[in-house]
Amino acid sequence: MSDVSSQPVLAEQPILGPLARPTVQAWEKRSAGQKLRMLSIGDGALSLGSILLSGFVLVLLASLIWSVLSLGVKAMSWQFISQNNIYITPTTSLEYGGVGHAILGTVIIVGLSTLITVPLGVLVAVYLTETREKPRGIVRTLVQAMSGLPSVVAGLFIYSALIVGLRLGYAGWLGSLALIPLMLPTVARVAEEALRLVPQDLRNGALALGAPAYRAFLMVTLPAAKSGLITAMILGIARVIGETAPLILTVNNTNGTTVDPSQPMASLPTYIFQFIANTNDTSVQRAWGAALMVLILVAILFTAARLVGRPKKAKK
Amino acid sequence: MSEVTQDRSAAAAAPQKRKLSTKPHARADRVFFGLARSAAYGAIVLVGLILVFLLMRSAPTLAQQGPAFVTGSTWNGSATPPVLQIGPMLWGSILIAIIGVIFAVPLSIATAYFIEFMAHKRVAAVATIVVDLLAAIPSIVVGLWGLAVFTPVAAGWGEWLNKYLGFIPIFASSTGNFQGTPFTAGWIVAVMIVPIITSVSREIFSQMDRDIINASLALGGTKATSFFRVILPTASGGIVGGVLLGLGRALGETVAIYFVLNLSFDINWGQILENHGGSVASLILSKFGEATQQEIGGLMAAGLVLFIITLLVNWIAAWIVNLAQPWRR
């Protein structure tokens, strides 16, 4: 990439510039110096614009992270991480209560979802990479199209199918189900990439030694793609850990600590949603504290994904 | 006579060509591929189920409200019969998504260009991580930031636009209040779709044939002319796909818009600095808590409309992106 830009192209332009545009009369009349200046203005504008605009993206991200860090840290303390929300009103001082129950709820809801989605997503990836069946194109397109599924629709789906349809009560595991269609596209896509990176020769070698296809996959392809598949799982978790709307529609928020997913449970996103609805200073600070917790979890997952993905991932 | 025997002996000597087949022959293999196949079909069935259930629950409301459901602009759940129409919300979703895309496209293409063609390898690696990190930030955190930090900033920008460009109808403002505008919501959506468009564009750029860029430079093209006349046109297919993926995401954005936008059934046709607008997804979230039975039907129908639109947009986007990335097949 950089070898193109580092070539001394500009020096040749006074001679070559007119050759590229032999029909433009106005261009021909200009002196070589003028041409060079105009061309370099274009180049400068492109470089400057590119740097400014990408710098702006960086500023947005920095502002986002800095706000969460600086505002969230005010609420942060050991009891904020460990305690639950019983007896806490919007005006209770920050010395009492916390997000312990919400962290636990998030871990359980997302964990259950992961247990179902990761095998499903990896199997979809297997279908896309290891078989030569015709509908692969449709499946791939559909899975990618699913990545744009509005999260509120996923919640409505579980609500209409199970809560209205089967008359089940609000419960943590329903939230896990609602997260599946949101998590599946990420897992399937990253897993597909991981399996695709395994050289075809490895598979052929195993098959040539007489291994049935399933053993070739389990004993050769799967170990070779292991780190990529773990990355797929982690990125899938990171994708859904902050999802709010589906949980609001399917899991009732609670203030107490629950470990039973058949009951309503708290989760970090719904905790933020609950407290930002009040305008008291302490409520808002609790919301920022919970947002910082979410961001910390995402950062941990993100770092884990990079660490796991590093040794195997050969850059194309 | 001798020819015949020769033929026979030749036929006997040459071993019969075995039929080669790559089909799974063992039972375990069939189970293995069957599992993979059922998972893949399961994904299709899942989308079908979403469609079926939303359709089932919203059919009575849709039948009762008729086509005015998507064109009308009244929402009154307590009237008998209830009048449930989502016109302003539907238009608002589209408007905000378009604003978001308009802001996000230059940012994304510039970032992708910076990463692929300008930055040193190490800087590019860091920039890639930054973009991925932006993608990993949950929408509720973006919404919280949008509500507390970004809204005043965007209101300032809005005020400036209104002051100097207010004579253009879209920048007009009747209230002088620049909070909760579609402009702000568009920016929030842009923050969330920049990583999507950037990563697709970057991948298209990185897989481009370097020879045509070098050829353009050798013919006397500058970096700028090569970019606008060679790189962009060649990559445009994939970039359009990426933009559509972003658009699909923007249409379905829920919590973040709910935080920063002043939802109103007073339709806002395109005055992006007026402090009211609409969003179907946010409507569902805001009405869901205290909705009556009839209103729930209306919200299901709104979800159905949203789902169909986003699925269409995303399907076209995914199709274009796959078409533009033949190395993935």
Amino acid at B64: Q
Residue B20: pLDDT band with limits 50, 70, 90: low
- Residue B16 sits at φ, ψ, to 5 deg, of -65, 140
pLDDT for the residue numbered A52 = 92
- pLDDT classification of B78: cutoffs 50, 70, 90: confident
Distance from CA of B254 to the nearest CA of A (A): 7
The minimal CB distance from A302 to the residues B53, B56, B133 is found for B133
Q: Count other Cβ atoms within 10 Å, centred on residue B294.
A: 19
Helix/strand/coil for B83: strand
Q: Which of A74-83, A178-187, B98-107 has the lowest mean pLDDT?
A: A74-83
> What value does the mean pLDDT of chain A take?
84
pTM of the model: 0.83
Question: What b/e sequence results for B145-164 when a residue is b if at least 16 CB atoms lie within 10 Å of its CB, and e otherwise?
Answer: bbbbbbbeebbeebbebbee
A60 to B310: CB separation less than 8 angstroms, yes or no: no
The residues near B143 (Cβ < 8 Å, ≥ 6 apart) are B188, B255, B256, B257, B258, B259, B260
A147 and B314 in contact by Cβ < 8 A?
yes
Query: What average pLDDT does this structure show over A11-40?
Result: 62
Give the separation between CA B37 and CA A131, rounded to whole angstroms: 9
Q: In chain B, which residues have their Cβ closer than 8 Å to the Cβ of A241?
A: 138
Binned at pLDDT 50, 70 and 90, residue B22 comes out as low
B275 vs A174, more confident:
A174
- The distance from CA A249 to its chain's CA centroid, rounded to whole angstroms, is 22
The pLDDT-based confidence of B14 (bands split at 50, 70, 90) is low
Q: What is the pLDDT of residue A315?
A: 45
CB contact A22 to B (< 8 Å): no
How far apart (Å, rounded) are the C-alpha atoms in residues B41 and B87? 35
DSSP B219: T
- Supply the pLDDT for residue B94: 92
On chain B, the residues whose CB falls within 8 A of the CB of A214 are 26, 28-29, 31-33
Q: How close A95 comes to chain B (CA, Å)?
A: 23
pLDDT of the residue at B24: 52
Q: Which domains does chain A have, with CATH numbers?
A: 2-72 (no CATH), 81-312 (1.10.3720.10)
Do A268 and A294 meet the contact criterion of CB atoms below 8 Å apart?
A: yes
Q: What is the pLDDT of residues B168-226, one digit of tens each?
A: 888 887 777 888 889 999 999 999 999 999 988 988 888 888 888 889 888 888 888 88
Task: Note the pLDDT tens digit of each residue in A52-91.
Answer: 998 999 999 999 999 999 998 888 888 888 888 887 777 7
- Give me the amino acid identity at B150: F
- The H-assigned helical ranges of chain B are 2-13, 27-65, 68-71, 87-113, 121-136, 139-145, 151-165, 182-206, 210-218, 223-226, 232-252, 255-260, 280-288, 293-324
What's the rounded mean pLDDT across residues B267-273? 81
Whether the CB of A245 is below 8 Å from some CB of chain B: the reply is yes
Q: How far apart are the first and last CA of chain B?
A: 56
What is the distance between the alpha carbons of residues B240 and B309, in angstroms, rounded to a whole number? 17
Residue B146 contacts A, CB cutoff 8 Å = no
> What is chain B's alpha carbon radius of gyration, rounded to the nearest angstrom?
27
Opening angle at CA B202, ends B199 and B203, nearest 5:
85
Assess whether the previous peptide bond of B81 is cis (omega < 30° from 0).
yes
The pLDDT of A97-109, averaged and rounded, is: 90
CATH topology of domain B75-328: MetI-like fold (1.10.3720)
Contact A180 B46 (CB under 8 A): yes
* Number of CB atoms found within 10 A of residue A18's CB: 16
pLDDT of B228 reads: 87
Give the ipTM of the model, two decimals please: 0.82
Here the tokens at position B101 are 């895309």
Are A112 and A261 a contacting pair, CB within 8 Å?
yes
| Residue recorded with tokens 């695709």 | A196
- Would you say residue B7 has pLDDT above 60? no
Q: Which residues in chain B have their CB less than 8 angstroms from residue A131's CB?
A: 33, 36-37
Confidence class of residue A16 from pLDDT cuts 50, 70 and 90? very low
